[in-house]
Amino acid sequence: MGVSEIFETMDYGPAPESAAEAMAWIAAHDGRFGHFIDGRFTKPAALFATRNPASGDALAEISQASQGDVDEAVAAAQAAQGKWAKLGGHGRARVMYALARLVQKNARLFAVLETLDNGKPIRESRDIDIPLVHRHFYYHAGMAQLMQAELPGREAVGVCGQVIPWNFPLLMLAWKVAPALAMGNAVVLKPAEYTSLTALLFAEICVQAGVPKGVVNIVTGDGAVGEMVVSHAGVDKVAFTGSTEVGRKIRVATAGSGKSLTLELGGKSPYIVFEDADLDSAVEGLVDAIWFNGGQVCCAGSRLLVQEGIAETFYAKVRARMDKLRVGDPMDKCIDVGAIVDPVQHERIRGMVASSDGEIYQPACDMPAGCYYPPTLITGLESANPLMQEEIFGPVLVATTFRTPEEAVAVANDTRYGLAATLWSENINLALDVAPKLVAGVVWINGTNMFDAAVGFGGVRESGFGREGGWEGLSAYTRPILKSKPLKKLDKFSGEGAATEGLDRTAKLYVGGKQARPDGGYVRPVFGKGGKVLGQVGIANRKDLRNAVEAARGARGWSAATGHLRAQILYYIAENLEARGAEFSSRINDLNGGKTGADEVAAAVSRLFTYAAWADKFGGDVRAVPMRGTALAMREPVGVIGALCPDEAPLLGLISVMAPAIAMGNRVVLVASEHGPLSATDFYQVLDTSDLPGGVVNILTGSHAELAPVMASHMDVDAVWSFSSSDVSGVIEAESATNLKRTWVNDGRARDWFAAEGEGRAFLDAATEVKSVWIPYGE
């Protein structure tokens, strides 16, 4: 065809990228790969094929790791980690800078290999995945350099077990490996079984960059290998990206092990188009939202919500754009939608679409033979429809309409997930009003699927917990250097007798701002050191806990109150506590049998001041992103936090848990110290006189061991903290898998509540979620 004819027809001519270099790299390994352990490749064994999904051809054979391989990898990581951490921030920064440079230098090889193995368009691997990978290493080289100065009092966690999915193989590796290495950890990473090749190429690059042997280990294989990695006793921290189903299994598998855990799971992210949006830009955004990587993206804008008045116009534009999408050979630089990663995934998508009762549109484009699925739009679905609720993980967009911004928010939030959300409006007031109301870890305004190393990424609800990227991403890869002693169960004092004379002095529970009798009617005596009966407390049961959660849920207004107001109320609580200081002090002395009462009251007043101070100073910050625009890292309350208070310091412990939570806008259900519950029950009256709205703080007395599993499995509790001296961490972590709530449990060490470790940044972090709001600007 001549040039003039091409101009006439505007026919597209294929422009394939060469696979030669990548195939030569595979051939140089005889097409067979072992694991990368302790700085070298093991002999290939227990091989299985990894295929090019576009053609179905086998690309190479990779090894299925045995328990012995995983043991070796973990042992290598353990042996290397200490030295790597001691190398210091600057030493690590230099190695990571070299890694970044080498990934950049080999960008084309990485991009082609990724496309061959995964089936994503070369345009995406070349222009999006790989540039984001080296950006991540550059950014985290900087974090290594700054660690000592900016993260005082924190250290590496140790050995990190990391399991990643197939949809962004090298990018997910970078998101996991870069922060881990920067903070001085060693890693054992398992790539997805469909897409391990770029991880193995990365292993080679690690050798060239001078990463000390054992710091990065890569074991390949299927989910069984993932299970071995996450449950290995030598692994201190687990990081997972993948399906919510597997995330839940990992939560249970690691419960009670002392391992820290972050989960980046699925989503069904809303893509909201208001009637005043720039519709053509919103259509282009949609191409990036749902047809990027064939919709095999955890944060894909897969649920389209369009304002009613423009719905038909907008759908028509979307259909017209879909007609122009090119589906085909991912190695062709002109292709928009590549292959689906595996026939299993293809069949899953086909089945889900076949079950639809909406109106299905698929363009009449030429569909190549092989593992391809056409771009699909399904309109006319109700929010409750399974296709609006379940993750399809393919190029399938489901749509519905809304009338008002309030309805848009309600429909957007009508999901068990909370990963990302996109909104389009030319009205900045509307956009900035709606963004904070969306239950999601990331919100994109007038753009979509924007990512950067400086901006945290991660979800809320069943989309998991933890962030990757930004300062907040580092907390998962560091831990506070705690000097405290091992935690010992503090037994209650015992004595004889049950009743107090005279008036009924049984303290009740504190629910919804009122004193309530325990549902079961059971009470128990509280003894002082010499066996003296000091009073009686109610024993809360699961019904009392449910009532307290309901009261906390109802007190939503507190989360919307200003930091200034919350500060004032915390100061007022401090003032009222101090006014009754002598009474609290003698109570503590009776409960503990010691003389520290006055010190404890003074420390509690000071702690309330600390969080009153923080209440209006922990709002978040602004991130410098490489585009015209900005990204806000907004600190939002977690929601309803259930907490088991420490036994060691009955008043100070309760305040140390309550104050950061409510300062940040959460509502709490506290279970008082079992050892000294009367300090908590005396505290009701301080709360009553301090203008705190009912339901913000609810206090129960009862058995930690009995209430912990009820609290952890409650669907309306968003986070559980435990500083109890009872052995409840395991049950809390296991039960929290129900709705994947955040947990912060004792790691077997007793905190010194009087010292610096009893307050501060770790508490504020746990009391907030970071929402990343992207705001591009300009024409």
- CA dist 373 and 378 (Å) reads 14
Give me the 211-250 binding string for ligand NAI, x by CB under 6 A, dash otherwise.
Answer: -----------xx--xx--x----------xxx--x--xx
In the 3-class helix/strand/coil scheme, how is 18-59 assigned residue by residue? CCHHHHHHHHHCCCEECCEECCEECCCCCEEEEECCCCCCEE
Nearest distance in Å: CB 451, ligand NAI:
13
Q: For residues 162 and 176, is the Cβ–Cβ distance under 8 A?
A: yes
Nearest distance in Å: CB 400, ligand NAI:
21
Q: How many residues bind ligand NAI (CB under 6 A)?
A: 25
- CA dist 73 and 80 (Å) reads 11
Instruction: Return the residue of 193, 462, 648, 735 that touches ligand NAI, per CB under 6 A.
Output: 193
Q: For residues 120 and 333, is the Cβ–Cβ distance under 8 A?
A: no
264 is catalytic: yes
- Return the number of the residue (165 or 480) whose C-beta is nearest ligand NAI: 165
378 counts as binding ligand NAI under rule CB under 6 A: no
Q: Helix, strand or coil for residue 102?
A: helix
Of the ranges 175-183, 189-197, 332-340, 358-366, which one interacts with ligand NAI (CB under 6 A)?
A: 189-197
- Return the number of the residue (164 or 549) whose C-beta is nearest ligand NAI: 164
Q: Which amino acid is at 37?
A: I
Q: What is the DSSP string of 247-270?
A: HHHHHHHHTTS--EEEEE-----E
- Return the number of the residue (249 or 553) whose C-beta is nearest ligand NAI: 249
Nearest distance in Å: CB 770, ligand NAI:
18
Cα-atom radius of gyration of the chain, to the nearest Å?
28
188 counts as binding ligand NAI under rule CB under 6 A: no
416 counts as binding ligand NAI under rule CB under 6 A: no
Give me the 261-280 binding string for ligand NAI, x by CB under 6 A, dash otherwise.
Answer: ----xx--------------
Long-range contacts of 561-567 (CB under 8 A, 24+ apart): 561/665, 562/616, 563/615, 563/616, 563/617, 563/618, 563/619, 563/663, 563/665, 564/615, 564/616, 566/612, 566/615, 566/616, 566/662, 566/663, 566/665, 567/612, 567/613, 567/615, 567/616, 567/663
Instruction: Return the residue of 393, 402, 465, 477 that touches ligand NAI, per CB under 6 A.
Output: 393
- CA dist 376 and 350 (Å) reads 11
- CA dist 213 and 94 (Å) reads 16
- For residues 151-170, which are near ligand NAI according to CB under 6 A? 163-167
The residue annotated as part of the active site, out of 17, 72, 264, 648, is 264
Nearest distance in Å: CB 354, ligand NAI:
16
Tell me which residue has its CB nearest to ligand NAI.
Answer: 226
E strand or H helix at 198, and its extent?
helix 197-209
The closest alpha carbon to 195, from 171, 217, 214, 160, belongs to 171
Nearest distance in Å: CB 252, ligand NAI:
10
Nearest distance in Å: CB 198, ligand NAI:
14
- For residues 297-326, which are near ligand NAI according to CB under 6 A? 298
192 counts as binding ligand NAI under rule CB under 6 A: yes
Cβ density class 326-340: b for 16+ within 10 Å, e for less:
bbbbbbbeebbbbbb
- Return the number of the residue (246 or 548) whose C-beta is nearest ligand NAI: 246
Instruction: Return the residue of 72, 114, 391, 590 that touches ligand NAI, per CB under 6 A.
Output: 391
Nearest distance in Å: CB 599, ligand NAI:
48
Q: Could you give the residue numbers annotated as active site?
A: 264
Using CB under 6 A, list all residues that contact ligand NAI: 163-167, 190, 192-193, 222-223, 226-227, 230, 241-243, 246, 249-250, 265-266, 298, 345, 391, 393
